A = this chain, B = another copy of it.
């Protein structure tokens, strides 16, 4: 199938206990698309400024990611500065410069309106909805969100979620959105509000998939070396959606496998800054870790 992702392409400056990097490639659509590109064809809709390094566009093209939908607008590229302490589960935002991303109004070109799978990364739910109104009903609609929209645009988000098949969010956001401390209660409450299913990403603690017809839980792939967790959630989503697209069917078996592939992709992503580690991987590395995961968890 073909995947369309709408989200951010950004420049990140990041500090972790293991080092510091300035203006490295980041953004939800970036992590998602590179991850998904291991499985199937992906096209990006995003905006960058005139200062966006050409080498990063080349890097996306080399992975055969469709970059025609990345508009280069007057101004500067979205920048995020963050720091992680020893507890890598918590990102401390030092600065957010939205720049051209502030005026992001995604326009879907005719050629991409028949994309079979749509992933709406973490953007204003009104924009997520505007994208949905531009495309012909995809076979699968998935989206992410964040604390900011849950606080400021809850009504829009809730309305929009009725159209969504898979809603991905992290554990803190799931608790915030549902008002439930217990994650199984949170998952149940979220699904009762509209989306067909919810995926709660728990970082190093794994994932919960919850729909009215079935549940799935998995630990994360255990890692000794986590250098930079930035983008792990979008990389996870890229593995999930990429695998589902390649599988060509969305049933219980495919969903379960997709969650493991998502975890595997995220486990690679966090082993280096930006997308560095992902770029060095081959499908054989991914399948090797998938098989390791199976051995690690079977009983």
Interface pair B217/A222, CB less than 8 Å apart: yes
Interface pair A87/B225, CB less than 8 Å apart: no
Q: Is the interface of A mostly helix, strand, loop or mixed?
A: mixed
**Per-residue interface assignment for chain A, residues 197 to 210, with 1 indicating a CB less than 8 Å from any chain B CB and 0 otherwise:** 00000101110100
A54 contacts partner chain B, Cβ-Cβ < 8 Å: no
* Given A183-B222, A218-B299: 7 more A-B contacts, CB < 8 Å: A87-B181, A182-B226, A183-B204, A188-B224, A206-B219, A217-B219, A218-B219
Q: How far is it, in angstroms, between the C-alpha of A257 and the C-alpha of B297 when the chains are bound?
A: 11
Chain B residues closer than 8 Å to A226, beta-carbon distance: 182
Chain B residues closer than 8 Å to A202, beta-carbon distance: 205
Chain B residues closer than 8 Å to A256, beta-carbon distance: 298-299
Name A296's closest neighbour in chain B (CB-CB): B217
Q: How far is it, in angstroms, between the C-alpha of A188 and the C-alpha of B224 when the chains are bound?
A: 9
What are 10 residue pairs bridging A and B, where the CB atoms are less than 8 Å apart in the complex? A86-B181, A87-B181, A182-B223, A182-B224, A184-B223, A185-B224, A208-B222, A216-B299, A217-B297, A218-B297
Q: Which of A264-299 contact B (CB under 8 A)?
A: 294, 296-299
Name A255's closest neighbour in chain B (CB-CB): B299
Residues of A in contact with B (beta carbons under 8 Å apart): 86-87, 181-185, 188, 202, 204-206, 208, 215-219, 222-226, 253, 256-257, 259-260, 294, 296-299
Q: How far is it, in angstroms, between the C-alpha of A224 and the C-alpha of B182 when the chains are bound?
A: 6
Q: How far is it, in angstroms, between the C-alpha of A217 and the C-alpha of B220 when the chains are bound?
A: 9
Q: How far is it, in angstroms, between the C-alpha of A226 and the C-alpha of B204 when the chains are bound?
A: 22
Name A215's closest neighbour in chain B (CB-CB): B296
Chain B residues closer than 8 Å to A182, beta-carbon distance: 223-226
- A256, chain B: closest CB distance, angstroms: 4
Chain B residues closer than 8 Å to A224, beta-carbon distance: 182, 184-185, 188
| Residue among A182, A184, A218, A299 facing the most chain B CB atoms (10 A cut-off) | A299
Q: How far is it, in angstroms, between the C-alpha of A22 and the C-alpha of B294 when the chains are bound?
A: 45
Chain B residues closer than 8 Å to A208, beta-carbon distance: 222
Interface pair B222/A299, CB less than 8 Å apart: no
Q: How far is it, in angstroms, between the C-alpha of A219 and the C-alpha of B225 when the chains are bound?
A: 20
Q: How far is it, in angstroms, between the C-alpha of A183 and the C-alpha of B222 when the chains are bound?
A: 8
Q: How far is it, in angstroms, between the C-alpha of A134 and the C-alpha of B217 when the chains are bound?
A: 44
- A227, chain B: closest CB distance, angstroms: 11
Chain B residues closer than 8 Å to A222, beta-carbon distance: 183-184, 208, 215, 217
